[in-house]
Chain A
Amino acid sequence: MTTTPQAVRRASPRTRRPATPVAPDPTAGLLPQTAPVRLLDPDGTPLPPRADLPAPPVETLREMYRRMVVGRRFDAQATALTKQGRLAVYPSSRGQEACQVGAVLALRDDDWVFPTYRESMALTARGIDPVEVLTLLRGDWHCGYDPTVVHTAPQCTPLATQCVHAAGLAYGESYQGRDTVALAFIGDGATSEGDFHEGLNFAAVFKAPVVYFVQNNKYAISVPLSRQTAAPSLAYKGVGYGVPSEQVDGNDPVAVLAVLTRAVAHARAGHGPYLVEAHTYRMEAHTNADDASRYRDPDEVEAWRDRDPVARLEAYLRSRGELDDAAVAQIAAEAEAYAADLRDRMHAQPTVDPLSLFEHVYAEPTPQLVEQREMVRAELAADAEGDA
C-alpha cells in the first residue's frame, strides 16, 4: 500500500443503473483514503500541502525530532540493559519512532494514553521517568509510575483489552464534563481480538472521545499481517462501527502528527472516536528474547531502513533550514546524557520488600492475607536468623 506515491481518495466510479435516485453515501467520512496519507517522501522531500490536513507547526516538528532522537537512544539503551541483565526483557520500538512520538505530541498532558508493552518510547517521550517506565520489565513491580499523575494507564500486556478501558475512561471523563481525550495504542495483531471490536463499538455508540491508533508494524511476533486479516487494510474496520478512519504512512513523522492531530481534534470536539492505522515496521525482533531470523527475510528489514522516520524528519527539517549540524549534535548529546543517566540509575539493584506483596491486593488485606503475611514474616525472620 505504501508504494503509491501520493495518498488518494477512493475514486473508482461505481457502475450505477440509470433512473435510480442517488442515495447519500452512508460511508461518507468513514472510509480511509485508499493509500496511506503521506506528506513527506521517504527522502524527506515535502509533498504538496493538503487543504484537508494542515501541516503541523514547524516548532512542533523540531520538538518531534528531538524526542524521536532521544527515544531511539532510549530504546537502544533499554536493549543494552537486557544484555547486561538489568532488564528481563525489552520489546523495542525502533522504526516506530514517528508513531510513538507523534501520538504523544498530538495529545495534551491531561489526555490519557493507553499503551501496550511496546510503548516504552512513547511513555518516556511523554516525560515519564524511564526508570518507572522500565519497572515492569526490570521486574520489581508491574507498573512503575502512578497512572493518575501521568495520565497513562499501565502498559497493557493482554492484547486489545485496553481498547475497552480507553472507551470507558474517555466516556467517564466527558460524562464528568472534562474535555479529555484518550488514545489507545494497539498493534496489528491485536486487532484480531474481540476486545478491539467491543472497544471500538462501545466508543462509537457512546461517542467516547478516543483515538484508536493501530501501529501496523506488519508482524505479531512472527505472524505476518496476511494471517491477521483479509481486509484491504486495517483502517477499513472503522466503517463497521461508524467510526471515521484514516491510514497513514507511519514512518512519515509529519503525516503521522497531522493525521493524529486531526483525529484528536475530532474526538475532543465531541464527534466520538477515530481510528488511525499507521503503516510502519518493527525493525528489531519482537523482544530481545525473540529470534526474528526464524520468520523474516533480512532483505525485508533492509528495505525498511530506507524509510527511516528519524532520518526522514531530519532531512526535512534541514531542508527547511530548521535544523543544522550544531542542533543535531546538541540533540544527540542530550540523548546520550539521557541514556547515560538511565544506565546509571538502572545499575542500582532495587530492593523490594516481600511483605509489600500483601498490600494493594485489596484496599485492606483480608484476614486470609493477614494470616499469610504473618507466615511470610515468620519465614523472613527465620531466614534472617539463619543468615546471622
Chain B
Amino acid sequence: MFEVLFYLLIFPGFLFLYLCSWLFEFLDRKLLARFQRRIGPPWYQPLADLIKLFSKEDLMPQGANEVVAIALPIVSLCAVLTAGIYVPVAGFSPESFEGDLIIVLFLLSIPTLAYYLAGVTSVGIYSLLGGARSLLQFFSYEVPLLIALSGPAVLAGSWSIQEIIARQSETGAFLLFQPLGFLLAMIGLIGKLKRDPLDIPKAKSEVVAGSLTEFTGVKLGFWHLVMNIQAVVGIFLIINLYIGWTSAGNPLLNISIFLIQWLAMILLLSTASAVFARLRIDQLAGLGWKILVPLSLLQLTVVILMGV
C-alpha cells in the first residue's frame, strides 16, 4: 500500500511530474527569452505564477456550465498524471503491461478533448472559436501522430513501452531506423501541446486565449498545470519510443543521461516555437491531410517491411 502511494504521489507521480513541468516551463521560457535577447523569468517564476493563479478570484461567467467548467481541468489533470505513471523514466516504470502505449496515447489526448468541451460550454465567441479550432486541429495532427508513434511498436513487435525499450537496447535506437517517424511525432507533439507554430486554438491575436478566455483563478492554474505536465509526459514518451534506454551502471549516471536527452528535446521544441510563424487552420488541415498522413503511412509501410 505504501509503495503504491509512493509511486502515485512521489516518484513517477505528482511531485516528480510537477517538478519536471516546473523545470520545463522555466527552461522553455528562459530559452525563448534568450533567443529574443531578453533576460527571461527567474527560476521560481512557474511556482510564483501557480500561487498567483490559485490566490486569484475564481470567476464564473454567467450562463456557463459550472460543473463542467470545474470538472474539465481536474479530469484532464488526472488523465495526464496517470499517463505519466506508465511512461518509464530512465528505464524505470512501476507498472507495465502489454498495451500500455495505447492507454498512454488515449490518456494524453483527453486534455485536447477537454479543451474543446471547455470552449464549447463556456460563454463567449472567443471560447467557441477556440474550441472549434482545437477540434479541427485535433483531427489534422492526431492521425499522423498515432501512426508515427505506432511505428516503434510495430518494429518492436509489442505494444508495451518496456518491451520497446528492451528491443531498442538490442537493436539500437529506433530513431536511426525511422527518422521520418521521429519528425512526424515531433510535429504531432507540437500540435497536441498547442505550442507555437501550431498554437492556432489559443492564438493571442486571433481568438484572445481560445477556450481559456473565460477561465480564471484555480481553474486556469489547473489548466496551466495540465498543459505543462502533458508536455513533459509527451517528451518522455517520444524519448522512450525513439531513443530507448540502456542502463549505465549507477543510478546517478542514468538520471543525468536521461536529463540530457530531455534537455535536448526541450531545446528542439523551443527552437521550433521561435522559428516558425503560426499557420492558418485551413493551411494546417491541408498540411495535415495532404502531407503528414501520406508520409506517416509511407513510414509505417517501410517499418512493416523492415520488421518482417
Our verdict on whether A and B bind, yes or no, reads: no
Q: Report which B residues bind A (CB closer than 8 A).
A: none
Residues of A within 8 A of B (CB): none
